[in-house]
Structure 1
Amino acid sequence: MKLLVAALASELDAFEDDLAGFERLVTGPGKLQATYALTRRLDDGGIDEIVVVGTAGSVDASVTGVHEVAAAIQHDVTDIDGVVGQHVSLPPRVETGGGTATIATGDHFVDDADAVASIRALGATLVDMETYAYIWVAERFGVPITVLKAVSDSAQDDAITDWRSAVAACSVELRDDVRRRYGV
């Protein structure tokens, strides 16, 4: 069984309630909720692949549409030496084994130019609040993970308003991508 994961129910609005071969999980926003919900579900067993769908801000104006994430970093952590993006005990980067995009995960909604510049300097093109956690948990359980993110906003200049108006269209784009990839 595949596990279709999203942080928010609105990111799954365009998906059928019963998608053949998939079970659904809505984790809630942020790294802690994502870690907790995914760990609880994987602890029960029976999942052979995780497919994450959701929205992401773009920190590069040329990046639009749906992207498969290859790696995630954390933009909201600093190690004991003050290095941004480095955690005291977690790896600086987690990888999915597929895709091309790098996403920066942090526990706040990014909506300003200074934050975007900092994230871009870390090497990411997308930003969200959960992907690092999802990949990290999947690695612990040895379950393959695919992360598909639809660009919903520019991560600056009132991005929350853009996100609210874009989430429905992003859900349709993600549903179409999942149908194409998985034949459902």
Structure 2
Amino acid sequence: MKLLVAALSSELAAFPDTLPGFDRLVTGPGKLPATYALTRALDATSYDEVVVVGTAGAIDPELPAIVHEVGTAFQHDVTDLDGVRGQHVSLPARVTTGHDGLLIATGDHFVDDAEVTAVIRPTGAALVDMETYAFIWVAEQFGVPIRVFRAVSDNAEDGALTDWREAVARCSEQLREFIRDEYGV
């Protein structure tokens, strides 16, 4: 059995209520809700794989508005004791799914500001979101394989929240088609 995970129910709007071979989990937005909900789910049931779907803002302005697999995540909104941005005091700087894919910057606020994307862009991150680092870290703690798929919803700059609200249905459709092709369900 696999676990299909999304932060928001709107990201699963195009999915049927049940998918053969999958349980479903909606965690709520942000790193703490993601950590809490996924930890509870993995503690209660043994899964073969965690499959995360959702939206992300594009940091790379050339990135097509399609579904991308994420390979690595870091937290863009933390600093270590030396003030190094993206380095946490006690957590790994980066976590990986073990699959090839894009680098995503995870933080606890919705990025819709050109100044913030300008700070993130030099890290090499192509995408930004609010949960991926937490999802990967938790799955790693439980030794459960994880794959993360993000549909580009906006450009993570001025007006991104309005763009996201308009794009989430399109992204859900893209994600549903992608999961159908990838997993045959």
> What TM-score, normalized to structure 1?
0.99
Shift of 1:46: 2.4
Quote how far apart the aligned CAs of 1:118 are.
Answer: 1.0
Cα deviation, residue 100, structure 1 = 1.7
Query: What is aligned with 2:177?
Result: 176
Q: Which residue of 2 aligns with 1:110?
A: 111
Q: Check conservation: 1:67, 1:99, Cα contact below 8 A.
A: no
Shift of the alpha carbon at 1:120?
Answer: 1.0
In structure 2, what is the equivalent of residue 139 of structure 1? 140
**Residue matched to 1:24:** 24
Contact 1:79 1:87 in 2 (8 A): yes
Q: What is the Cα-based RMSD across aligned positions, in Å?
A: 0.6
What residue identity is the alignment partner of 1:33? P
Following the alignment from structure 1 to structure 2, what is the Cα–Cα distance between the partners of residues 19 and 45? 17
For structure 2, the residue ranges without an aligned partner over 5 or more in a row are none
1:5 aligns with 2:5: yes
One-letter code of the match for 1:59? Answer: I
Work out the CA distance in 1 between the residues paired with 2:110 and 2:36: 20
Amino acid at match of 2:2: K
Runs of 4+ in 1 over 6 A off after TM superposition: none
Corresponding residue for residue 62 of structure 1: 62
Pairs aligned (count): 184
Give the superposition deviation at 1:123: 1.7
**Equivalent position SS for 1:77:** coil
**Percentage of pairs with the same residue:** 69
**CA–CA distance in 2 between the matches of 1:99 and 1:28?**
26
1:102 counterpart SS class: strand
